Amino acid sequence: MPALLAISLALNVVVLVPVCIGLIRNATWVDHALGPRQPARQILLAVYLSILLLSLLLLLQPRPDAAFGLLAAQVIYKVISPWSVGTWRNPVVLSNLAIAAVHAVTIASLWRA
């Protein structure tokens, strides 16, 4: 597996495990970052769990072609987030953009290979 791909997938796991646990347990910090528990937040949990499970699977069974699609979808939604949220100052938006930058570098390396 290419090193950058392993880094991107591991980053997904490292970030999403505590976020998903926080969402499931309805942690106070989740309310501050993502708002109160409601259907939209639970749908976000489903999306995050999907990304987490796919990332784990792709770490165990590397498929750069499949990972390319996963990372590309993440970059698109993360780059759109400042406009959908309406601010660049939200901590979730900022972390989304940082992760998108890492994934964009990985995508570029996969594209070249």
- pLDDT tens digits along 68-97: 999 999 999 999 999 999 999 999 999 999
Q: What is the pTM of this model?
A: 0.93
In 26-112, alpha helices (H): 28-34, 39-60, 64-85, 91-112
pLDDT more than 70, % of the chain: 100
Instruction: Reduce the DSSP state of residue 42 to 3 states and report it.
Output: helix
Task: Give the whole-angstrom CA distance, residue 111 versus residue 108.
Answer: 5
